[in-house]
Chains A and B, each alone.
Chain A
């Protein structure tokens, strides 16, 4: 089948898609957007998190056909190419929240969503919001630091991430 949708603001089209393919597979293998990760493909790790019509979802659990005509935003589309990095991305680098980085794209998207909804999250809010995103390297402490830092910076600049 053919699937057409918007990815990071661009109209994209994938041909010869097998009905069993996930959105994650189509992004990674057919559209050259491998930023969303494939740590489990079972909906357990959050590494594949993308925005679908503005809602964060596990793209490994979304059948490709379901996104026909819809809007997808991945980690690659988070930052304005002009400005470089989104405040969340920059905070992850600065706080030491990235080791192997395989969890990072999913965590960045999920944290981005958290700060959109809740610009001043408590530690428990952060933990709750990120509880579906596994990280095996960091022990999460520096991920907490990164989200706190992103919230503080976004608050200070009056620029809540979109």
Chain B
């Protein structure tokens, strides 16, 4: 690693600490996790607890004629059976649009929609009870294609117009245009020497977090509910749960249970409302744990997309215009489709300077599975398309594809198609230069072959014959934080007191630790700001203000920023106490090694002595700089908080006879502004890139007529350790002066660029066009698909 450092914005008062900011202390939850003692949401247990389970629709679109629960209710061991009629409060909920029923009534709009729930003394009793619920359906024609969804007069509506708060415009959930420069007119087109076009498709990807949706709802004495759950955002869960239960928010208290990964898939509610309803009904704790199959139906997925692009460029490789249309299938309910559309439209041109743009992105309602947040959020699909376009354009111009990208790359000061100036480092050209300059992995040595190095590996499908190597590059742009005028602030409480003669800081936030290492970062920030060794992380719950979502690469920036503000306030209070008590006049005080230290006069007093029996307890909110909504017709507006960039080079070996791909190496260079925890930063980049690799060559929820054909890890494949190559990572640290410590969100950018890089490498090896991901063997052998 050879990081570049330009941390001009670091405050001098903060002090270096080996386990502070910039260090890589071990995770505070690591030991529990390796011992199997960390309590995940599916591990929870309560005396007297019942098991909850949901009956789901077998149809993608049907009218519910009747529901008969008698058979289930009479089964011994069954304590409650509930349908929509038993929902005490609001019937609908949703992240942005309240269009999703807690339990279906009238209609079901996707396969797997929950229709009834039961609570029983054993999961098997619950399963048998579900079998005894009789639901009479009138099956309706499904709307599953773009063509059908865009012509509701002919094909019908997923939601009747004005039925809910959804857009009145039929089956379009949301659309966003972006027009910049002169737009794309015939005159503009005439100024281009070379034009390339392409139609692309991205399949439906699943987050496939390993910890199943699960939690435990415990009825409380005050008539409220205590819910222990794996989620990404406690407060927004509560906001949606409480009205359905008919309870005021303060009576619904959430505590984060251990989260086994999230990647966007826990941004929407899954089992939360159902467990609470059953607990409310039975007066007993209710645990719900999804099976893997149910998990595929129980959370939203990445929007599948169809994308059409046209790029024009001059002979010397300068981009002149880009016209693009991105159609995202949002499925039955809105989830976060509007924000996904905003991202697709505003980031869909890529990290390139394009003077004239005409972009349209939209999301549709359909009877397919609902889609919403997944790592990369609206920017992934477009990146596959625009990066493929860059390679096509390079070929048409007979240019090196990396040089073409570098020539057109944005940099600090560039203006995005939305009119937003990039006012922080944007080293896109440098990322590309560095990733290309990396040494290539050695060629396959056929004289000393380990079959496990070949595509097909353990299956012994080749001894080197028919194997062709390819190399591909890609780069992407992602936003950090919530956009379009949303104030996704975060709250942190820091308490400093003396325990056992030693100053101990406690950090209390509602941040969902989902594996990313936010709890490690919180400790680092406090150690740096307060010069203490011992930091306790309070469990995340709703007793403190919102931390916003663990998504959009935002938690280190937002909650890290809040912890920094709170810790600084604690420090100021402590120093003020010292000034009052000792009459200090120095202006060069800081907290180092458990002491108050003056840069000129040296150590003054131990923190423990200064603090004595008192405690300093401060809560602070951190708001990022305001953004604005994009203009509906032109997409103009400074809608994003921060941008982040990652470049990848993929090297693949393809068995061209069998269509098998082995990614040999996946190298990344990413700018992270400031690596608060370098080990975790690299882990995020490798993990994110691997999900992009999965999308490139294997991951797709296959849906036919609204029915999911592969809801299991047998049929929905994610990369194993054999599918995943060495991933050298180079991290740049070009500080963003608007962000705490200069940091930049890390987790998502690598998920964008790895997919097109892998596919570009396969294209180079095979000479095939490959306009769709995931690329499957039959696409490479021409034997189908």
Contacts and interface: CB of A to CB of B under 8 A. Distances in A.
Interface string B343-369: 000000000000000000000000000
Nearest to A40: B292
Given A40-B712, A75-B35, A142 B722 contact: no
A139 B124 contact: no
Interface residues of B, number: 63
A20 B689 CA distance: 39
A131 B514 contact: no
A151 B691 CA distance: 28
B35 A100 contact: no
A101 B683 contact: no
Contact of A93 (B26, B453, B718, B722): B26
A47 interface: yes
B151 to A, nearest CB: 38
B464 interface: no
Interface in A39-70: 39-42, 44-45, 47
Contacts of B515: 99-102, 137
A149 B687 CA distance: 20
Contacts of A128: 452, 458, 722
A141 interface: yes
Contacts of B682: 96, 141-142
Nearest to B122: A18
A103 interface: yes
A38 B292 CA distance: 9
Interface in B93-141: 122, 124
A64 B610 CA distance: 59
A76 B39 CA distance: 13
B212 interface: yes
B235 to A, nearest CB: 21
B37 A136 contact: no
A116 B137 CA distance: 57
Nearest to B514: A100
B468 to A, nearest CB: 21
B85 to A, nearest CB: 31
A99 B122 contact: no
A134 B31 CA distance: 20
Interface in A91-106: 92-94, 96, 98-105
Contacts of A41: 291-292
A40 B713 contact: yes
B680 interface: yes
B149 interface: no
Contacts of B292: 39-42, 44
B522 to A, nearest CB: 16
Contacts, number: 180
B209 to A, nearest CB: 6
Given A39-B210, A124-B453, A140-B721, A93 B27 contact: yes
B34 A85 contact: yes
B686 A74 contact: no
Given A39-B212, A40-B713, A136 B726 contact: no
B35 A29 contact: no
Interface stretch (B156-164, B257-265, B560-568): B257-265
Interface residues of A, number: 58
Interface string B195-211: 00000000000011111
B729 to A, nearest CB: 8
B33 interface: yes
A98 B34 contact: yes
Contacts of B721: 126-127, 130-131, 133, 135, 140, 143-144
A127 B452 contact: yes
A89 to B, nearest CB: 4
Given A127-B722, A138-B686, A37 B40 contact: yes
A99 B26 contact: no
B455 to A, nearest CB: 14
A33 B36 CA distance: 8
Given A39-B212, A45-B713, A138-B683, A102 B261 contact: yes
A108 interface: yes
Nearest to B715: A44
Interface string B660-699: 0000000000000000000110110011111100000000
A142 B683 contact: yes
B646 to A, nearest CB: 13
B519 to A, nearest CB: 12
A38 B212 contact: yes
A34 interface: yes
Nearest to B263: A136
Contact of A76 (B26, B36, B258): B36
Interface string A1-31: 0000000000000000010100000001100
A40 B30 CA distance: 23
Contacts of B27: 93, 98
Contact of A101 (B29, B45, B124): B29
B43 interface: yes
B289 interface: yes
A40 B209 CA distance: 10
Contacts of A34: 36, 39-40, 42-43, 45
A93 B292 CA distance: 27
B720 interface: yes
A144 B726 CA distance: 9
Contact of A39 (B258, B260, B517, B727): B260
Given A93-B26, A94-B26, A136 B261 contact: yes
B210 A42 contact: no
A128 to B, nearest CB: 6
A161 interface: no
A45 B724 contact: no
A134 B291 contact: no
B686 A102 contact: no
Nearest to B679: A96
Contacts of B689: 139
A94 to B, nearest CB: 7
A40 to B, nearest CB: 4
Contacts of B514: 100
B712 A36 contact: no
Contacts of A102: 40, 209-211, 260-261, 515
Contact of A47 (B210, B259, B722): B210
Contact of A136 (B26, B210, B289, B517): B210
A105 B38 CA distance: 10
A79 interface: yes
A109 to B, nearest CB: 9
Contacts of A78: 35
Interface in B15-53: 24, 26-27, 29-31, 33-40, 42-43, 45
A64 B181 CA distance: 68
A100 B211 contact: yes
A108 B34 contact: yes
B687 A138 contact: yes
Contacts of A39: 210-212, 260, 292
B516 interface: yes
A20 to B, nearest CB: 6
Nearest to A74: B36
A38 to B, nearest CB: 6
B720 A131 contact: yes
27 contacts: A18-B122, A32-B45, A35-B35, A35-B36, A35-B37, A38-B42, A41-B291, A44-B292, A44-B714, A45-B713, A75-B34, A93-B31, A96-B682, A98-B30, A98-B34, A100-B210, A100-B261, A101-B515, A103-B210, A131-B721, A139-B688, A139-B689, A140-B721, A141-B682, A141-B726, A142-B686, A143-B721
Given A93-B26, A102-B209, A128-B458, 18 more contacts: A20-B124, A39-B260, A39-B292, A76-B35, A78-B35, A85-B35, A93-B31, A98-B34, A99-B516, A101-B30, A102-B261, A104-B33, A137-B515, A139-B683, A139-B690, A140-B721, A141-B682, A141-B724
Interface of A: 18, 20, 28-29, 32-42, 44-45, 47, 74-76, 78-79, 85, 89-90, 92-94, 96, 98-105, 108, 124, 126-128, 130-144
